[in-house]
Chain A
């Protein structure tokens, strides 16, 4: 193995920009595919020049070491350069999602004002093509300034980083989910990110011949850490396209992997099924995917059926079962907690357990695959080095192998805290352990994730808080304020969760045609959150199940909706823990 790929290599650097500056300048870094006739590539050396030019510009705009800066730019090479440039100055960048045409201006305004205030951002950088209709709605916090980015000539500037960038300092902030008050910025230090990447390089056995492919957004940990920071620090190339271009033409992913001979990629579970169902059989024949070492299923619960469907669809293209791997990851631990083995022709382990015992006694008891009560779980792999997982009961007791409980994690590469939110940090980090809110069990040293304790909906890899949806729906004049429940149901046709909303109407009589109200609610939800609820169930007063405290009870309302609504019959039910 080349010495620079030794798993401790990444920790030779003090800060992330140092890793870029140490890269061989002539070697390829990012290839960004926009369309059939528009691809841009930069070497490591060219990226350094872009970063230095961008750092000089950001400094001119008043950015200094220790300041935070919000970047709202389309997925692109300039966005990557700006991100590193901010760190180069010792400032702390945070990438926020670029508004798409679905976004409703007023909702965008309140979301951005909230984040900007919480981050106490010095600068908010928008690109020159930022939608005109939204500009007037961009409100920034006190002391922040809005600036428009335009791409500068990549002239090397003599600019040196200011004192202030140090290994323990916050390198950047990632936002894992939420809008309004729930938005949490995960603050990660240079040291934690570099330490984590060193381990990931070792576990993945990254080699100089590796090349990463990604369509993942850079505001998401999988896109940012695995597909941008990892190749930058390991000095391997990455081929990217934007999430929107991938959704419109999923086959481009396969073409880019085949043409550039990419070896590694990370994908949320739904995309395995999406590719299998949306790429024509005739089209598939053109792709030779035998170059791939691993397609890693991550950021949504891993489903055996999605993996199997992908394998069936693409085995003729050279996809072999051992290429389909899995990982359990989150922004709070920089990225991966676990990773399945990518070598020795091993597949992720699968266990079939008795669903009834799992549901009622919270224990995974293995049964044969053809047992009528069997439910299959795919392992997310073993812990990364220097990373520990424990399964604990609600009271915090350490549970034995096979028992289902909350997954808590300890490593020396975790978040510094939620930025400016000591209250949330105290809730999540206890005595050095991060309480993930995910439920799982450990079997033979392998971690299996089975569900969530916290009410989070994951749609196509994106985290959505039910509370955000409920707040939007509650504000509609026809809806009884506070009598709304949103939850996710796994849709096996899509390989991801669908959003279901149950809401009580005001007044005693339900109108015959509730479609206009439903449509208004859909409009508001998509305008604020960019996601579409699959079902909106409008109900008469007192339908939503309430807790003893008088608040809507999500899981009980979910069960009631499932048993009483024909339209929810299509959902294959999985054991919900009682």
Chain B
């Protein structure tokens, strides 16, 4: 697993899920499975931008683009722009 993916997973477990015994990998559905609420996506999107060092215009991102960590990183690569 890539380092950015690990950091995002760690953030989701520590800050969002906050329950013991939960395991997720890059392909675990997060929102569609009910593991996290879509209200938490804005925090995760900030973290993805932080980890990838990209500026991600939130208007180009839909909730379905954030359903797994793999999708999040692909979305960041697709719509992200270098930070100035």
Contacts and interface: CB of A to CB of B under 8 A. Distances in A.
A interacts with B: yes
Interface of A: 34-36, 100-102, 244-245, 247-250, 252, 274, 278, 460, 494, 513, 515, 519, 522-523, 525-527, 531-533, 567
B30 to A, nearest CB: 10
A522 B38 CA distance: 14
A248 B62 contact: yes
A244 B45 CA distance: 14
Interface residues of B, number: 25
B77 interface: no
A494 B34 contact: no
A249 B44 CA distance: 12
B59 A102 contact: no
B21 interface: yes
14 contacts: A101-B63, A102-B31, A245-B59, A247-B39, A247-B42, A248-B58, A248-B61, A248-B63, A249-B42, A274-B39, A515-B21, A519-B35, A525-B34, A526-B32
Given A248-B58, A522-B35, 13 more contacts: A36-B57, A102-B32, A102-B63, A244-B62, A247-B38, A247-B41, A248-B61, A248-B62, A513-B21, A522-B33, A523-B33, A526-B32, A526-B34
Contacts of B41: 247-248
Going nearest first, the 4 A-B pairs with the smallest beta carbon separation are A522-B34, A526-B34, A249-B58, A35-B59
A525 B32 CA distance: 10
Interface string B6-48: 0000000000000101100000000111111111011101000
Nearest to A522: B34
Contacts of A522: 33-35
A532 B58 contact: no
A515 B33 CA distance: 13
Contacts of A274: 39
Nearest to A459: B37
Nearest to A244: B63
Contacts of A100: 63-64
Contact of B60 (A35, A525, A526): A35
Nearest to B57: A36
Given A523-B34, A532-B36, A278 B63 contact: no
A103 to B, nearest CB: 9
A567 B20 CA distance: 11
Given A101-B67, A248-B62, A532 B42 contact: no
Interface in B43-57: 43, 45, 57
